[in-house]
């Protein structure tokens, strides 16, 4: 904690930081291209923190464009305080962590490179206390600190193909890197190993600063219960052992590591978050690929890149309606390229503008003290 806190001295978190102008951004992205010149470089790709943040800013812009941003500074500030407290205690406290609330009923959360953490309004509606929020944000923060988000570039076939091109085509290469990263984060999700690592280290992070570590499991259990009805209605498989295995793993970790923090802070949560959840059957969706910029570009990714055996994991991804292996197989069988996932394909709001909120180290300290956190 001392180490983490020290990194915040004189610093601040800028919530929903305004992204650079388009021209500047492209110029900055061009510099990332310098790190991705050859196939050899790509296999041994080293991305600096600065490059990672620029890539993350471009990916975040696409996510904001796709889902819109809740234009509410009080909500953003609250999420930034919880997220900032966790980020301070993480292994990468010095990143300019940014927490963005997306304007959609779908239940989801996305971590982009460089410390951009997105959580949907639908997720906040389903969450019931601050420990659950800390569990979800902790999970997403670990995707960033463990660089799961960066590894997606290295795995991308389209980026690898680009890597054999000359630098004169580096702009196209960079555009592909952004698209590949977005596609991995939003469309496909991370692999099971990465999800388990995020669960385990995320709850540890929450527990370390005083939150009840059962928060993440409590939220996932409620999400699972919420989706039960639609599961039967859709005639999809009746149970989803992967989710149960995930919940078991979380429980075992809490016991094995003797995590014993107790703060849940339901009252404080309700003071700031008053959304009500939308049943999954009532979530308005958009057709995959028609969601504007991002949907169309995601479609351009080479098909072979889709992992064949890997389920799409994530906050909502291990659930029956979240498009697991079986659902994908069924959809393919019916001739559709991509099934409609009410969470991922949920309609978004029309305003992609960030909501800038400054949260200083002193604000986080006061927030933690008020909540009896460590």
Residues near Zn ion (CB under 5 A) are 195, 198, 314
CB of 139 to Zn ion, least distance (A): 5
Axis-axis angle for helices 215-226, 192-208 (nearest 10): 130
* Contact of 16 with 354, CB cutoff 8 Å: yes
Q: Which residue has the tokens 């977005």?
A: 182
Q: Alpha-carbon distance 296 to 67, whole Å?
A: 14
Give whichever of 8 and 190 is closer to Zn ion, judged by the CB atom: 190
| Least Cβ distance, residue 111 to Zn ion (angstroms) | 7
Please report, in angstroms and rounded to a whole number, the separation of the first and last CA atoms in the chain: 9
CB 290 → Zn ion: shortest distance, Å?
Answer: 26
Q: For the CB of residue 173, give the shortest distance to Zn ion in the complex, in Å.
A: 27
Q: How far is the CB of 10 from Zn ion (least distance, A)?
A: 32
Q: Between 52 and 195, whose beta carbon lies closer to Zn ion? A: 195
Q: Cβ closer to Zn ion: 51 or 195?
A: 195
Angle at which helices 73-88 and 130-145 cross, to 10°: 60
Residue nearest to Zn ion (CB): 314
Cα distance between residue 341 and residue 238, in whole Å? 17
Q: Which is nearer to Zn ion, 119 or 209 (CB)?
A: 119
Closest to Zn ion by CB, 141 vs 153, is 141
Cα–Cα distance, 196 to 246 (Å, whole number): 7
Rounded to whole angstroms, the Cα distance separating 301 from 310 reads: 17
The least CB distance from residue 140 to Zn ion, in Å, is 7
Residue 314 CB, shortest distance to Zn ion, in Å, is: 4
Nearest approach, Cβ of residue 195 and Zn ion (Å): 5
Q: How far is the CB of 256 from Zn ion (least distance, A)?
A: 21
Nearer to Zn ion, 117 or 263 (CB): 117
Nearer to Zn ion, 129 or 195 (CB): 195
Residues 6 or more apart whose CB falls under 8 angstroms from that of 272 comprise 74, 75, 78
> 56 or 314: whose CB is closer to Zn ion?
314
Q: Which is nearer to Zn ion, 200 or 301 (CB)?
A: 200
Instruction: At 282, list the tokens.
Output: 């009532």
């Amino acid at each position: 904690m001392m180490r983490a806190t020290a990194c915040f001295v004189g610093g601040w978190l800028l919530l929903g930081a305004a992204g650079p102008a388009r021209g500047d951004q492209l110029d900055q992205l061009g510099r990332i291209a310098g790190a991705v010149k050859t196939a050899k470089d790509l296999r041994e790709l080293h991305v600096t923190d600065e490059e990672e943040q620029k890539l993350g800013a471009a990916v975040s812009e696409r996510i904001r464009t796709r889902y819109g941003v809740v234009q509410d500074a009080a909500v953003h500030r609250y999420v930034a305080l919880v997220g900032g407290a966790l980020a301070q205690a993480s292994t990468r406290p010095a990143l300019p962590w940014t927490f963005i609330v997306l304007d959609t009923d779908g239940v989801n959360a996305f971590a982009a490179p460089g410390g951009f953490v997105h959580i949907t309004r639908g997720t906040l509606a389903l969450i019931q206390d601050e420990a659950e929020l800390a569990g979800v944000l902790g999970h997403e923060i670990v995707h960033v600190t463990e660089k799961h988000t960066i590894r997606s570039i290295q795995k991308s076939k389209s980026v690898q193909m680009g890597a054999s091109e000359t630098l004169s085509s580096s702009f196209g290469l960079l555009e592909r890197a952004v698209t590949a990263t977005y596609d991995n984060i939003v469309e496909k999700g991370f692999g099971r190993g990465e999800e388990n690592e995020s669960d385990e280290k995320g709850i540890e992070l929450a527990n370390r600063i005083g939150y009840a570590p059962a928060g993440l499991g409590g939220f996932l259990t409620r999400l699972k219960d919420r989706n039960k009805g639609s599961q039967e209605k859709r005639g999809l498989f009746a149970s989803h052992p992967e989710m149960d295995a995930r919940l078991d793993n979380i429980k075992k970790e809490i016991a094995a590591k003797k995590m014993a923090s107790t703060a849940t802070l339901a009252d404080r949560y309700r003071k700031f978050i008053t959304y009500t959840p939308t049943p999954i059957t009532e979530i308005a969706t958009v057709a995959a690929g028609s969601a504007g910029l991002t949907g169309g570009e995601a479609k351009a990714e080479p098909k072979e890149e889709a992992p064949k055996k890997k389920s799409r994991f994530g906050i909502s991804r291990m659930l029956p309606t979240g498009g697991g292996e079986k659902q994908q197989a069924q959809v393919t069988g019916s001739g559709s390229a991509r099934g409609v996932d009410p969470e991922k394909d949920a309609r978004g709001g029309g305003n992609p503008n960030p909501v800038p909120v400054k949260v200083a180290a002193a604000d986080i300290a006061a927030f933690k003290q008020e909540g009896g956190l460590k």
